[in-house]
Structure 1
């Protein structure tokens, strides 16, 4: 029995190694024109089968022409990555930001992955902003934090302008909006760079700071080393290792209590360890510290209900009359979270979104069971298929030939008893997308706030997202990702295809960043003061 088990494990390892080798050979070779045309058809067929509003912004005739033109233009063999750069703009013509494709990357063996298990790539923790054709480093960890505020002159042998102009041809915003492009590619520069270049052992970045220009090699480091910011922290670590103190029973209990409270605190605010920051923050700012400032970086992780309950209780107890809700660079997330948040800004019952249009009565199954899903997820989906199907059938309804899925957010909800009744300012920009744009629509349509910044990257009337489906093209192994639900806002405007606009447009400049100014918040604080 023991020998059989070893043979079984060995066969799995051998099969896995063989599979990795076969996959890497597949994505590295040149694919014939016929294979690539098959992939073009496969991508378009997936869109036609599952996308509920495929021709919302681009008519079918134009879309057919774009896909046919691409097929006709493929005359010679191409690598997967070269094909990706030709296919991405065509898929982008759907004009839906949640529809995207990604080039395949070389898979690594278990041994190769083990070499990086306890390491972190500093490039992944860097945040950037693109202003006036200039890329700025806005956040970093470890020793790289000393570079914050520096201008990026080059990454390897390319200027940021060259790279961002290229990346902008490979993505789409919702509808005809323009503010998303430079903003999102700037703020997610590391993600787009690695997506389009694959795994990197190191990256050479040339920085410009005042009159000096220097090149820094960004490497993989041990996670512990990556967190060290100074010699003092290293020295303190050494002291901690030397001094071993035996704790009393009461001290151990106090330590466990402190750790539990810390976890609870981090959960409410959605702590992001890789960036050492919180998804949600709340503070009191202004000359007299009576302006509530809530920054929400995304609607995804942590325990938001407790955070909002705690924050608005504080606002109410202090009698705060002015609040700033900062949704800049918020890429979206949970509808349930924005539903909960909006309940604090209204005194009347409300509905956030309409029932969602879908193409099938069982929209969850294509999401779970597709050729990009892990084997264990497919197995779970098969086991629970009767439950999933029953749930989906109860949640969907066909009306005049169109299938609708009833989301929790499409029901009428009551305002939160702790609702805020004071003056509200909302900060938005081109990176305010998806759920953050839907929340902005609700606040805008009900005249709840003054909007400052730039038009949202997400459309006013909604987006196609909700449930996401992945699909790997058969030959090139390019992965396409698309939304399966039309998330339609309760309030619509014409023309369709544009974002939530602002009452006061403010576009940050290089001078603002060099002086470490936040012009949008400065304007709001001045506006508050002038209206006192």
Structure 2
């Protein structure tokens, strides 16, 4: 029996090694012109089949022409990454920010993954921000804090202006908005660089700061080991009462982190509430993301505090909030209104079973398909009753029921801070607050469209030959409020664009404007 189990384990290991080798060879080899053109046809057919608003910002004639031109331009063999660089330009011109493609990544062996755990890339410690199309180091320079505020001129001898132009072609906002681009390139510069250039063992930056020109090289280096001897040797001598206190404190901290959505990597919270101003009477709620954390508990506790303090002014900060859960923003809005409301309209779809089409895409693992296989008939039955057809168009009832305001709803003045990275769910919330005339907006136009976005259930399809993956939403999600022309975000009542001087002086001009306005 033992020999048989060892034999099976050996076969599984051998199969795994062979499949890894086969995958890595396939993505690095040159694909024939015929295969490249087949993948372009496959990509366009996939989008036409399930994307509910494919021709919202570009007409069918325009996209037909672009895909046909892309197909005809394939006149020599390419590897998967170079093919991706050609295709991504057309995808970004569609004008749907949630529709994106990615080059296939090399699958690393167990030995390589083990080595990766021991290494870190110094470049990944940096954080960037783009202001007026210029890239700056904004934070996270653990190895050299003096780099904060430095302008990046070149990276590995390539001008940052050329990189900016190229990266701007690799993604899109929703529609014709332009504020999204600066914010994405800054916030996701490291990811964009990896996506376009692959893993780098050494990255050199040419930087400018305070009229000085200099360079810095960032490498993959060994992580510092934590020395167990650094721990207190007399930890056993700690008094029992102290130990119990620490235990309670740890449990409270863990609970707090869970409610507020603690990000261990960035050491920040998704949700924060504090009281600011001269007399600490202004509620300032910063929401970085509508993702992890117990949002229901957070809003319940926060608005109870706001009510207890009899706060008259609430500042809701949605800057650099890229979105998240659709149900969270609906829950938050119930605390911001005293009227019954319907947050979403029916979602346009191209299939009666959108969730199953996401689960059973060709990029979903076999294990996941098996797990969902047992419950898929029940999902299908439930979803069939959630989809209705009207005038030839399928609609999915996605959070369309009437909602009542929360008893703790805030009745005072609401100010909302927005910028180009207020996107997806954050832009939908901004739209509802704007459309219902419930808030005053300061900052810059949101990156997400006023009239909704194609997102919700996200389907991923991997192209047969190059293994390039396309990921897109299968629901068009929108609030009842609309604006013309289509394709632009929520515009602020007062536009304020921060400068690098603000960042260096650690001042917040948008927030300062609101505080001054309240004090008048």
TM-score bin (small chain): over 0.9
2:36 corresponds in structure 1 to 36
Write the deviation string for residues 281-325 of structure 1: whole angstroms up to 9, x where unpaired. 111222222221111111010111111111111111111111211
Q: Residue 261 of structure 2 is aligned with which of 252, 257, 270?
A: 270
Describe how 1:428-467 pairs up with structure 2 within 5 A: 428-467=418-457
Q: Following the alignment from structure 1 to structure 2, what is the Cα–Cα distance between the partners of residues 469 and 394?
A: 21
Q: Following the alignment from structure 1 to structure 2, what is the Cα–Cα distance between the partners of residues 526 and 75?
A: 61
Write the deviation string for residues 237-276 of structure 1: whole angstroms up to 9, x where unpaired. 8653444334454444333322211111011111111111
Q: Following the alignment from structure 1 to structure 2, what is the Cα–Cα distance between the partners of residues 280 and 124?
A: 24
User: How many angstroms does 1:454 deviate by?
Assistant: 0.8
Q: Following the alignment from structure 2 to structure 1, what is the Cα–Cα distance between the partners of residues 518 and 119?
A: 47
Change (3 A) 1:120 1:134: same
User: How many angstroms does 1:9 deviate by?
Assistant: 1.1
**Is 2:132–2:182's contact at 8 Å kept on the other side of the alignment?**
no
Q: Residue 305 of structure 2 is aligned with which of 314, 318, 341?
A: 314
**Is 1:23–1:107's contact at 8 Å kept on the other side of the alignment?**
yes
2:514 corresponds in structure 1 to 524
TM-score, normalisation: structure 1? 0.93
When structure 1 is superposed on structure 2, of 42-51 and 354-363 the one drifting more is 354-363
1:183 corresponds in structure 2 to 183
User: How many angstroms does 1:487 deviate by?
Assistant: 0.2
Describe how 1:491-502 pairs up with structure 2 within 5 A: 491-502=481-492
Q: Following the alignment from structure 2 to structure 1, what is the Cα–Cα distance between the partners of residues 397 and 240?
A: 53
Q: Following the alignment from structure 1 to structure 2, what is the Cα–Cα distance between the partners of residues 141 and 350?
A: 46
**Is 2:125–2:142's contact at 8 Å kept on the other side of the alignment?**
no
Change (3 A) 1:213 1:7: farther
Q: Alignment RMSD, CA only?
A: 1.9
**Is 2:459–2:473's contact at 8 Å kept on the other side of the alignment?**
yes
Change (3 A) 1:411 1:125: farther
User: How many angstroms does 1:223 deviate by?
Assistant: 5.9
Describe how 1:345-424 pairs up with structure 2 within 5 A: 345-407=336-398, 409-424=399-414
1:96 corresponds in structure 2 to 96
Write the deviation string for residues 427-462 of structure 1: whole angstroms up to 9, x where unpaired. 111111100000000000011111111111100010
Describe how 1:198-209 pairs up with structure 2 within 5 A: 198-209=198-209
When structure 1 is superposed on structure 2, of 248-257 and 467-476 the one drifting more is 248-257
Q: Following the alignment from structure 1 to structure 2, what is the Cα–Cα distance between the partners of residues 183 and 217?
A: 25
User: Structure 1 regions of 5+ residues with no counterpart?
Assistant: 229-233
Write the deviation string for residues 316-371 of structure 1: whole angstroms up to 9, x where unpaired. 11111112111111110101110011111101001111121111111111211222
1:476 aligns with 2:466: yes
Change (3 A) 1:475 1:369: same
User: How many angstroms does 1:216 deviate by?
Assistant: 3.3
